[in-house]
Chains A and B, each alone.
Chain A
Amino acid sequence: MSMLVLEDVHTHYGKIEALHGVSVEVNKGEIVSLIGANGAGKTTLLMTVCGMPQASSGRVVLEGRDITHEPTSQIMRSGLAIVPEGRRIFSGLTVEENLHMGGFFNTKSEIRKSQAHVYELFPRLKEREHQRAGTMSGGEQQMLAIGRALMSRPNMIILDEPSLGLAPLVIKQIFEIIGHLREEGITVFLVEQNAHQALHLADRGYVLETGKIRLHDTGKNLLENPDVQNAYLGG
């Protein structure tokens, strides 16, 4: 069963084409990693899924529903959540309020349940419940960003470079949590520069190069692929 399908997607920024016909499939319950160098179009691909910018041709299908031309607000309310690049938490709000924003379209009792669940996953956030989010460390902010995305009880979560700018120990923690999400039945689409860890965790992986999918295989095979090792895993 496929959760998210991109079929021959082209995306333009003005006249410049950033994605030249990308096809990606993410199955239910999988962790799929997308790796690629700077400027390969990883973030563009994610943003196309979210509808900003919208694909200029091709199809984006989420759980069997064509969302290619749906507005962002519609897409983000249909069981999909994203942890944007650079965390983008609401730094002036407290941790708890950030979480509540994540469950904006849910009822109060649902929010209460998901909040308890997030605190279970990240006991650290519970300790900082009433602290302003902007005053926390980078790792804690990343946890909050993931927690906020989980508040809407998504079927699928997209993570854009969750390891960006974090200490190795914290990265390890974050990846553990991502692995845990799969156990809960949440489909994960992970975009990373930290290719080694991303592929290690992933069921399958895609390699994006200058707006095209260059390779796609299981995570294990990609890790052993000499081309990938040369280009992304430091030889």
Chain B
Amino acid sequence: MAANNFRHALFCAVVTLIISIPILGLNLEAKGINIILTGAKTSTYVAIVLAAVAVFVFQAYRDSIMGLLGKLPNFNPLADKEPMEQSKRVKLESWILTGIVVLALFWPFVVSRGSVDLATLVLIYVMLALGLNVVVGLAGLLDLGYVAFYAVGAYTFALLSQYTGISFWMALPIGALLAGLTGMILGFPVLRLRGDYLAIVTLGFGEIIRILLNNWTTLTGGPNGIGGIPEPTLFGMEFGRRVKEEGNTSFHETFGIAYSGEHKVIFLYLIALVLAVITALIIRRFMRMPVGRAWEALREDEIAARSLGLSRTAVKLSAFTIGAFFAGFAGTVFASKQGFISPESFVFLESAIILAIVVLGGMGSQLGVILAAIAVTILPELAREFSEYRMLIFGAAMVLMMVWRPQGLLPMRRIHITLNKQE
């Protein structure tokens, strides 16, 4: 082992000690009006030393440990296989997608209310990730402020319902269109930017929207948020116990069944499911259209794409607009599901999580992104028992994932379009 490695490992172990001793080893205790500093139990110190030793050993033998990790069998059964024939693959993928949708249709009738609620959240993330997938995965534009468009959709519905009493179904297209418009407006100043520069500008844009919502108290209520956002209705039937709006009837009375709070949750879930499927289908369509190929060409080589007569403006703006449109969709559903929104829901971490879903799923691959959305949303919930360590586990899972499969769960396989022979 090189001395270099040894020094590095020693350094890491010392850093571990320096960080953990004050945080874990020292306690502040209030005694009367004074605060006194006390040491922790001996067991804590032992644990810290053990941790430092563990860090030392890992760093010292890092190369061989990582080498061993690399030799582990790949958990993805598809990894070593020859790529399937395209016609087969497309068929299999649509079968799996159909399977997921059918399963999702029956899901709410067999599980608890909490699970349905969580599943609705998953679907919202699916919509968001599919939208961001267009911008990042297909067009190759790194957008760190994607949550802004989500916020625009949610706040459009919330504000319109507060000031004009608009219904969910009216707000859905308006929210999505407004979000799309915002995407286009953001698109103009960033047309010339790529990579890191684009990431910084979009990051700033995301923050601008959040801070605007936070500080424009007269309109948005600032950090207090907006409440009382109506739930969706089914052809004028409400899902509450009592009808809130005149002219509407209630769902349980119309069908003569007993009132149950679950109806509302399931209905919302089904709406989210339908919208997520629509999102997936529309984007799938786009991917096979010329505009989809133009996105990919721009991602691959901007100068070459422009030399073929593609307009950078049109291609970039279309990607931004379409991505933002579906974020607006998701935002409207989110506002309706929560019934209350505040700027708190649209922080940078949300953008980061959506981006993580896209990267984990495999940029550009729809099925991969859907699976990743499910995993990323559910994993922290499953790890709830570990309470404060759950984000740690989540983080570790992401790191491992990127070490094993940097190209994502299901890397994108491009759909190959052949021209039919004529004559």
Binding site for B on A (CB under 8 A): 50, 52, 71-73, 76-77, 81-82, 84, 88-94, 96-97, 100-102, 104-105, 108-109, 111-112, 115, 130, 148, 152
Contacts and interface: CB of A to CB of B under 8 A. Distances in A.
B287 interface: no
Interface string B396-423: 0000000000000000001011110110
B416 A82 contact: no
A94 B296 CA distance: 12
Contact of A93 (B300, B306, B419): B300
B26 interface: no
Contacts of B290: 104
A93 B415 CA distance: 10
Given A94-B416, A96-B418, 16 more contacts: A50-B307, A72-B306, A72-B309, A72-B312, A73-B311, A73-B313, A76-B308, A84-B303, A88-B301, A90-B297, A97-B293, A101-B305, A104-B293, A104-B310, A109-B422, A148-B308
Nearest to B297: A101
22 contacts: A71-B311, A72-B306, A72-B309, A73-B309, A73-B311, A73-B313, A82-B307, A84-B304, A88-B301, A90-B300, A90-B304, A92-B296, A93-B297, A93-B414, A96-B418, A97-B293, A97-B414, A101-B305, A104-B293, A104-B308, A104-B309, A104-B310
B156 to A, nearest CB: 33
A207 B418 CA distance: 44
A76 B300 contact: no
Given A77-B309, A94-B416, A112-B419, A104 B294 contact: yes
Interface string B278-319: 000000000000100110110011011111111111100000
Contacts, number: 76
B300 A91 contact: yes
A100 B422 CA distance: 16
Interface of B: 290, 293-294, 296-297, 300-301, 303-314, 414, 416-419, 421-422
A81 B305 CA distance: 12
Contact of A152 (B309, B313, B418): B309
Which of A92, A94, A148 neighbours the largest number of chain B CB atoms within 10 Å of its CB? A92
A92 B308 contact: no
A104 B419 CA distance: 13
A57 to B, nearest CB: 23
Nearest to A108: B419
Contacts of A73: 306, 309-314
Q: Which 9 A-B pairs have the closest CB atoms?
A: A76-B309, A73-B311, A88-B304, A77-B309, A90-B300, A82-B307, A88-B301, A112-B419, A101-B297
A93 B294 CA distance: 12
Contacts of A81: 307-308
Contacts of B300: 90-93
Contacts of B312: 72-73
Contacts of A52: 306
Nearest to B418: A96
